[in-house]
Amino acid sequence: MPHPSLLDELLGEQTHPAADDDERPVRAVAWARVSTDMQEERGLSIPEQFREIRAYAEKQGIEIVAEFSEAASAYQDRSKRPEFGRMLAAAKGEPHVNAILVHDFSRFSRDSVRAKALVRELRDAGIKVISLNDPEVDPETIAGVYMEAITFAKNEAFSREVAFHTRKGCRANVQTRDPQTGWCYKNGGQPLWGYRAVQLHRGEEKKGRPIIKSIWVLDDTVVARRPAHEWVRDCLAEMAAKGASLDELRDFCNENGIPARRKRYWSISTWYSLLQPHALLQYCGYGLWNVHRKNGSIRPASEWLIVGNAHPAIITEEEARAIAAHRRISARKQFDTGYGKSRESATC
């Protein structure tokens, strides 16, 4: 080690030891998340998570500069977790923030691969993810690498076990008929246009929590001077079953002042989705489950669970077959037209 004066002369200034990162004041953003009502009941509510995080921060001398939370599955893509994105942006965008406080790593992410990658990404940016209820490990040691992997794998395994039992419960639920109405129960989600969900109180669980079930009934809400389900029947049975195009169905609804489900006006894409096979089956009164994957794509029909007479039908099976046949003809014409144009372009 050269003499300090020589080092000072070579560097041109008096040197000082670099501040140890462990000695820097810890300033953090707090993050809380729930994905189910059951978690609320088990003491994992967002307010309870923040209460524990604040108590921990006060004890450890950590300054919390912002708090973020959301009610969403940690398995969802980050594009569908806007608050999670805002929290990460705040942590990375503020130079004085060097930590993220979470109740446990499962609140952060349950996917072990994504979680480890994200924690590593944040660590490289100088931000440490601190869990109140998971063991603290040194990722630079061999034991730390193993412990970190085990922690995230444990969270993912637990989540997959919960998902397994949840799916089993959903499968059983849609096949169960309400003893009073005779209709099958639904697992949630927005009903198709023409239906509305009705919640039914069906007793209580052992701990006194009410058992709430949901069924679909015809939507008799008056829109444009008629019940909504009558407009649906006109569009499907009197128009689509007789060959009406998507453009004609869209224009019919807009011209009659029928409000669209999510937007002000009807679109072709909305009608395209309403005339898909799984939607037509439901309009015939069939209950369906396991149609969509997590990313929104359609599973093969062989994987669908189909239950007959699950709710009131709006169209007949013959009308559904006619709609499907006209849709196939229309799709074939569009294919032939496009194929012909591409051949013409290729020969020019």
pLDDT (tens, 9 = 90+) of the chain, 348 residues, equals 666 677 777 777 544 555 555 567 899 999 998 875 444 445 578 999 999 999 999 999 999 999 999 887 655 566 678 899 999 999 998 889 999 999 988 887 777 788 888 888 999 999 999 999 888 888 889 988 888 888 888 877 877 887 788 889 999 999 999 999 999 999 988 999 999 999 999 998 887 889 999 999 999 999 999 999 999 999 999 999 999 999 999 999 999 999 998 888 999 999 999 999 999 999 999 999 999 988 889 999 999 999 999 999 999 999 999 999 999 998 888 777 765 555 455 444
Structural domain contains residue 321: yes
Q: Any residues with CB less than 8 A from the CB of 218 and at least 6 apart, and which?
A: 194, 195, 196, 227, 229, 312, 314
The amino acid present at 271, given as its one-letter code, is W
152 and 216 within one domain: no
232 and 296 within one domain: yes
Structural domain contains residue 11: no
Contact call for residues 197 and 323 (beta carbons, < 8 A): no
220 and 107 within one domain: no
Structural domain contains residue 189: no
50 and 139 within one domain: yes
Contact call for residues 122 and 93 (beta carbons, < 8 A): no
Q: Provide the pLDDT for residue 263.
A: 81
The b-or-e profile of 295-314 (16+ CB within 10 A means b, else e) is eeeeeeeeebebbeebbebb
250 and 148 within one domain: no
Q: Please identify, among 158, 184, 208, the residue that sits at the C-terminal boundary of a domain.
A: 158
What is the number of structural domains in the chain? 2
- Whole-angstrom distance, CA of residue 214 vs CA of residue 183: 10
Structural domain contains residue 179: no
Q: Provide the pLDDT for residue 22.
A: 56
Q: Provide the pLDDT for residue 13.
A: 56
Neighbours of 44 (CB within 10 A): 20
> DSSP characters for 236-266?
IIIIGGGT--HHHHHHHHHHTTPPPSSSSS-
Q: Provide the pLDDT for residue 334.
A: 79
318 and 272 within one domain: yes
235 and 139 within one domain: no
39 and 127 within one domain: yes
Q: Provide the pLDDT for residue 317.
A: 97
Domain ranges, residue 146: 23-158
> DSSP characters for 21-62?
GGGSPPEEEEEEEE-SHHHIIIII-HHHHHHHHHHHHHHHTP
Chain-centre distance for alpha carbon 294: 8
151 and 203 within one domain: no
Structural domain contains residue 32: yes
Q: Please identify, among 158, 176, 206, the residue that sits at the C-terminal boundary of a domain.
A: 158
List the CATH number of the domain containing 53: 3.40.50.1390
Q: Provide the pLDDT for residue 77.
A: 61
Q: Please identify, among 137, 158, 179, the residue that sits at the C-terminal boundary of a domain.
A: 158
Structural domain contains residue 73: yes
- Whole-angstrom distance, CA of residue 16 vs CA of residue 183: 77
List the CATH number of the domain containing 246: 3.90.1750.20
Neighbours of 320 (CB within 10 A): 25
- Whole-angstrom distance, CA of residue 35 vs CA of residue 46: 10
254 and 141 within one domain: no
226 and 145 within one domain: no
Structural domain contains residue 268: yes
Structural domain contains residue 50: yes
Token readout for 244 is 């009406």
312 and 199 within one domain: yes
Collapsing DSSP to helix, strand or coil, 292 comes out as strand
